[in-house]
Amino acid sequence: MNAKRATELAIIANRVRKHALTGVYNAQAGHPGGSLSISDLLTLLYFEVMNVDPKNPRMADRDRLVLSKGHTAPALYGTLAERGFFPVEDVATLRKIDSYLQGHPDMKNIPGVDMSTGSLGQGVSVAGGMALSAKLDKKDYRVYAILGDGELEEGQVWEQAMFAPHYKLDNLTIFVDFNGLQIDGDITKVMNPTPIDKKFEAFGWNVIVCDAHSFDELSDAIEKAKACKGKPTAVIMKSVKGKNVSFMENNAAWHGSAPNEEQYNQAIRELDAKIAELEAAL
Amino acid sequence: MAKATRISYGEALVKYGSNENVVVLDADLSKSTKTEMFQKAYPERFINCGIAEANMMCVAAGLASTGKVAFASTFAMFAAGRAYEQIRNTIGYPGLNVKIGATHAGISVGEDGATHQCLEDLALMRTIPGMVVINPADDIEAQLAVKAAIEHNGPVYMRFGRLAVEDVNGEDYKFEIGKGVELKGGNDVTIIATGLMVQEALKAAETLKDDGIDARVINIHTIKPIDKDIIIKAAKETGAIVTAEEHYIMGGLGSAVTEVVCEGAPCPVKIIGTDRYGKSGKPAELFEEYGLTAENIANKVKEVIKMK
């Protein structure tokens, strides 16, 4: 990827982070930490990789994304809004009684959401079903799923880990948001799912380890996944929970709590500064 | 001719599953659920998921989200029981076009015993908004239920049995989701039954004639949405109801009927069903021990009439 495009995407990703925090702040509920760690990936997918049409969200042969870690909906909504699926102002209505932006993704009512998720471990299976459907119909759309690292503790993930290689779903790419933290703390202390790469390899996946905040590395991983035939790909992306907000980074306390006014303002200032810095570099 | 409704399920999948959009999933039980019939006819549209029901339900959801009519098949215990939350959150909540073919329901599984005798599936599935719940009584009804499920857009739970059951419907039988069927007229009391208890209800009505009791018999094949009209009419015209199901008395047909009756036309209702875990034994022995017989229905009819 050329440097200019990577910078443009980084700017969008930081706007997505702002939307995510705006939603969580206004709702005074939601999951900021894991939203910030996947914002770069979501931006890359929706602005560079996936064949989608904001004017026709249910286009038949579109690429699909399942946010298996559905609690990070604020980042998905921020991305979809930036991409034009719905008005950016609406992100501030997250979790409100009259809003269509439910606490977890709701495919029935939110343009651009391909699957309702929220109960961990289930989305990745759905993605397998979508990928299988494309194979049955000999269609070339691709399916992406994003999982949390803590989510790997759900047994159902490993049911799908067997299924996708068995049916040679090389049109399926999953991303593990490996930020190392879950609600109760360090994932290796709560219930250690590592080594994640070796587990997926043993289950028959094409495994790529990369930096979740490098558009170059993510982009390469996606290209390698597309080139890999006969196997699904698992991208284990090393990420920073709370990425780009200093006091949220690497802090499990920000898994599922909302910032107060002062914290929110500081977070927005930090993200605006990042955006200004990136814009200056363009 | 007596036939198990699981066989009807397999046959109907072949008969009505020629549509390219129909896919059938199973969890290593295709020989028992009879989806092997579909596999033989349409191998490219059969997906074995292995012994992984949670994954299977969500794979079915993914297939449905892309336009498939996805039948997910396993034993009732592992569908409604083990994968309840997958069905609720990933099939029911988004309203996806998944049809759950749940076989080996009820105590009539027999020798396998309590772990495999699902007696709570109707209750569990009934609580899911938008879920259609069908419990066919015989071969023709089971086959037509599969056809109707294909034509219906949205999630459907279908309950099939392992034990061969007698026909209660004729060859010209018309099936409609949500429409109860009056199999015998009568004005003293109404027996409302579902599944294999329908044949017992008809037998009970016959024996009650000897006691001078003219019992109406209604087959409720669709537990949800339930046919309120036929139930309220029966409550008003006969003034007493006995329900019969191969299911816990909590949450199934009896509960559904009393919900309707209490709100629409209160009258005494006796509920026949099980109240504890099942156990190993021959189906006929189990029916006897758990009171799922024509004789018990007749006894409850006499009790409920006294309450009028």
In angstroms, the CA A35 to CA A146 distance is: 11
Chain B closest CA to A126's CA: distance in Å? Answer: 4
The single-letter code of the amino acid at B40 is: K
| Contacting residues of A for B50, CB less than 8 Å apart | 159, 162-163, 166
What stretches in chain A show pLDDT beneath 50?
none
Q: Whole-angstrom Cα distance, residue B289 to residue B276?
A: 11
Q: Is residue B174 part of a domain?
A: no
In a domain, B87, yes or no: yes
| Window A:208-247, CB contacts with B under 8 Å | none
B141 has catalytic annotation: no
Q: Tell me whether residues B89 and A118 touch, CB distance under 8 A.
A: yes
Amino acid at the residue B12: A
Task: Please indicate, yes or no, if residue B175 is contained in any of the structural domains.
Answer: no
Q: In angstroms, what separates the C-alpha of A273 from chain B's closest C-alpha?
A: 40
**Using 50, 70 and 90 to split pLDDT, how confident is the model at B111?**
very high
What pLDDT does residue B253 have?
98
Q: Are A247 and A40 in contact (CB under 8 A)?
A: no
Domain co-membership, B92 together with B121: yes
Domains held by chain A: number: 1
CB-based contact A129 B61, cutoff 8 Å:
yes
How much is the average pLDDT of B275-288? 98
> What is the arithmetic mean of pLDDT over B255-259?
98
Whether residue B14 lies inside any domain: the answer is yes
CATH at residue B16: 3.40.50.970
Minimal Cβ distance to B58: which of A122, A134, A155 = A122
For residues B151 and B185, membership in a common domain is answered with no
Q: How many CA atoms lie within 13 A of B71 on its CB side?
A: 38
Mean pLDDT in residue range B152-181: 97
Tokens read off for B241: 């109801």
pLDDT of residue B276: 98
Q: Look at residue B1 in the predicted model and tell me its pLDDT.
A: 79
Mean pLDDT in residue range B183-197:
98
pLDDT digits (tens, 9 = 90+) for B74-87: 999 999 999 999 99
Q: Which of B11, B53, B141, B245 is catalytic?
A: B53
Tell whether B188 and B160 lie within a shared domain.
no
Do B111 and B154 fall within a single domain? Answer: yes
Q: Residue B172 falls within a domain, yes or no? A: no
* Residue B77 sits in the same domain as residue B202: no
Beta pairing, strands A181-182 & A172-178 = unpaired
Q: From chain B, which residues contact A within 8 Å (Cβ)?
A: 23, 44-45, 47, 49-50, 52, 54-55, 57-68, 70, 85-86, 89-90, 93-95
Provide the angle, in degrees to the nearest 10, between the axes of the packed helices B253-264 and B228-238.
70
Hey, is the C-beta of A163 within 8 angstroms of any chain B C-beta? yes
Segment B114-136 mean pLDDT: 98
Domain span at residue B49 reads 3-165
Range of A136's domain? 3-281
User: What would the pLDDT profile of A96-125 be if each residue is shown by its tens digit?
Assistant: 999 999 999 999 999 999 999 999 999 999
How far off is chain B from A107, nearest CA to CA, in Å?
6
A-chain residues near B90 (CB < 8 A): 115-117, 119, 122-123, 125-126
pLDDT digits (tens, 9 = 90+) for A200-220: 999 999 999 999 999 999 999
Tracing tokens 């380890």 back to the chain, one arrives at A209
Instruction: Please indicate, yes or no, whether residues B198 and B141 belong to a single structural domain of this protein.
Output: no
**Tokens standing for residue B234:** 């029966």
Chain B residues touching residue A106 (CB < 8 angstroms): 93-94
Has the ipTM of the complex gone over 0.95? yes
Number of domains comprising chain B: 2
Alpha carbons B222 and A248: distance in angstroms, whole number: 52
A242: left (phi over 0), alpha (psi -120 to 50) or beta: left
**Closest CB from A60, A126, A133 relative to B58:** A126
Question: Phi and psi (nearest 5°) for B73?
Answer: -125, 135
Token digits for A266? Answer: 């500081």
Is there a contact between B52 and A159 if contact means CB atoms under 8 Å apart? yes
User: How many Å apart are CA A129 and CA A147, to the nearest integer?
Assistant: 16
Predicted pLDDT at B86? 98
Query: Which position has the higher pLDDT, B156 or B1?
Result: B156
CATH number of residue B266's parent domain: 3.40.50.920
A114 exposure class (CB count in 10 Å sphere: 0-12, 13-18, 19+):
buried
CB-closest option in A60, A108, A163 to B94: A108
> Cα(A102)–Cα(A93) distance, rounded to whole angstroms?
9
CATH label of the domain that carries residue A116: 3.40.50.970
